[in-house]
Amino acid sequence: MRDRHLQIAMILSIFLSVPFVTALPGYGVTDDDITESYVYDRRTGEFWFVPNSSDGVDGLLAISGEEKNSNPEKSAYAAFQALNIAEWLGYDEGLAEGYLSLGELYERLMDYPQALEEYQSALGVERRLHRDIRIGRALNKIGMVRIQQEEYSDARGYFEQTLDLLGDTGYNLTKAETLSGLGLAHYHSENYSRALEYFDQVQALGGSGEDLERVKMEAVMNAGNTYAELPEYERAETLLTRSIRYFGEHGDVAEQSEGRLCLAALYRQWGKPGEALGQARRGMELAESVEENSLVMDGYGLLSGIYEDQGNPGQALLNHRRYHSLHNQLLDSEREAQLTQRQIQHDVSQQNREIRRLNQEAALQEAEMVQQELWQNVMFGGFGLAILIAGLLVRNIQIRKSAHQELQQKQSEIEASLQEKEFLLNEIHHRVKNNFATVSSLLKLQAQSAKDEEMKNVLAESEGRVQSMGMIHEMLYQQEDFSRVDFGAYIKKLLQHISANYETSGLRIKTEVRYDPVNLGISTAVPCALIIHELISNAYKHAFIGRESGKILITLNHTKDTYTLVVSDNGIGLPSKIKSSQLGLMLIHGLTKQIKGIVTSETGNGTTYIIKFPAY
């Protein structure tokens, strides 16, 4: 029997193309007969098995923890399979640990919404089990994710729940982590005095142990960063140097690298560029030695700022490009890892569906054999007939139940497919938005380093156009519907952005936006955004020359078939030579054709542009 199981496991593992580990429960007539899960290790080509018991779940979770850093895909397979077995067994302790393991994996991939979902599931199980210390651990995990999402008030709420829960207990390690989290939440909220109070409370906790000492020293580093913001530079320098020395003595290269980069940022703020440059380079060397690419990226960004302060635009631009290149690489790798994680979850679910199908086929075969035996018994008496009828009735109920379960599994696959498509579309918009930001930053740096004033203006105008398009994708990325954008809200945001760039202390321009609710598709929204950008920019540059004040009005209305966009000002009007030659106005006419619209202009008390285009 076991040889037959191994053969089926081999066939399924090849069919499913699982990269690292697949788990297949042993076969029988019912789920109660499943006693073990066969696991195929593709690296070694060997089979081994895990008992379908609490020990088996704990074993898989141990594998997940051991492989978390070196082999995250294998870690994810083990965690998903542990959750499946724990749920089947009703093993709540295993469920809670499995949810935490998956949450940590998603958090490393910066998939914060999914990490929160896993941590919340773990919290629910722990509350059911009434395990206070583990409830606190789950609350702290949620709090740290909230900090990453810049939801600092929510983060404080979770940490405060943990403090209330622990009270006067002696769980000082968890208390230290909680107090550090509260300090970070207040630090990011710029409440530096409160942040320092919590970091000091960490230091005051009693107890010993390497883990507790490490949390205390991380609080020392965070306190140093806090003093740098006050600014109390000498005290900040003392604390940061102390933390660097500790992590160096304990062989923690990543933390030592982070400490040196923090010290470099302090020296830059302090006006010590030489010391800042030395610490930044040393910090990057340490980060590169352990392949901590996120710290290497931070180092490039810091070096770019230091060289800019020193008046070295060439090195500033070079390091800025390196920063953005590595930033894009990290985002790509993290997104690919997120996709792989979701594929792993899909693979494990597909395996279990295939296993259930094979179990049902085995049950049908056995039922047929039973029916044959019953028919034979019918030949010897009416009692056999009664048994046969009862058996058929039971089997009919089982078949109906199985069909209902299969229907629910179609539905689940369709929902999973829709979620995957939504995730991929989200990923596309994210990458487009990120590329816009990169191009905009490069144009800004080129403009700053340009010697010719006309070239500076050209590059600045190009940067503004790129930012206008980027804002469209940013709004799409922040809403549920990725196909259309609330264009009235976009106009208000764009107008604020352009006003901030062009207004000076001597020119007071009043701006107003009136609009009907209009949702435009991205193929129409982007050209309209560029049109508005050009018209408002032209008004700021040319319409109010020699004046101290003015007004710009934008209206957007729509009927059943037509949108009407009007941009007007009460300025001096545009000279005819500008109208005929300016690149911006040429773009306006070209972009209007792109959306199959018509543009007209009126002069009198200022200048008015009217763009009508079809609503489709």
Tens digit of pLDDT for each residue in 236-264? 999 999 999 999 999 999 999 999 999 99
Left (φ > 0), alpha (ψ -120 to 50) or beta: where does 151 sit?
A: beta
**pLDDT above 60: residue 387:** no
pLDDT at 347: 57
What does the alpha-carbon distance between residue 149 and residue 143 come to, in Å, rounded to a whole number? 10
List the single range of 89-93, 253-257, 357-361 with lowest mean pLDDT: 357-361
Q: Which residue's entry shows tokens 């032209």?
A: 538
Give residue 271's pLDDT band: very low, low, confident or very high (50, 70, 90): very high
The per-residue b/e assignment along 470-488, b for 16 or more CB within 10 angstroms, e otherwise, is bbbbbbbeeeeeeeebbbb
Give residue 613's pLDDT band: very low, low, confident or very high (50, 70, 90): very high
**pLDDT above 50: residue 24:** no
Give residue 466's pLDDT band: very low, low, confident or very high (50, 70, 90): confident
What does the alpha-carbon distance between residue 8 and residue 38 come to, in Å, rounded to a whole number? 10
List the single range of 57-61, 213-217, 257-261, 537-541 with lowest mean pLDDT: 537-541
List the single range of 43-47, 273-277, 361-365 with lowest mean pLDDT: 43-47
List the single range of 83-92, 400-409, 482-491 with lowest mean pLDDT: 400-409
pLDDT at 109: 80
**pLDDT above 60: residue 8:** no
Selected residue with higher pLDDT from 265 and 45: 265
List the single range of 153-167, 351-365, 536-550 with lowest mean pLDDT: 351-365
If you ran DSSP here, which 8-state letter would residue 191 be given? -
The per-residue b/e assignment along 59-81, b for 16 or more CB within 10 angstroms, e otherwise, is ebbebbbebbeebbbbbbbbbbb
Hey, which residues does 67 pair with through a beta bridge? none
3-state class of 24 per DSSP? strand
CA torsion 496-498-504-509 (nearest 10°) is -60
User: Are the CB atoms for 438 and 465 separated by under 8 Å?
Assistant: no
pLDDT one-digit tens code per residue, 476-528: 666 656 667 888 888 888 888 887 777 655 678 888 999 888 888 888 888 89
Residue 34 backbone dihedrals phi, psi, to 5 degrees: -80, 115
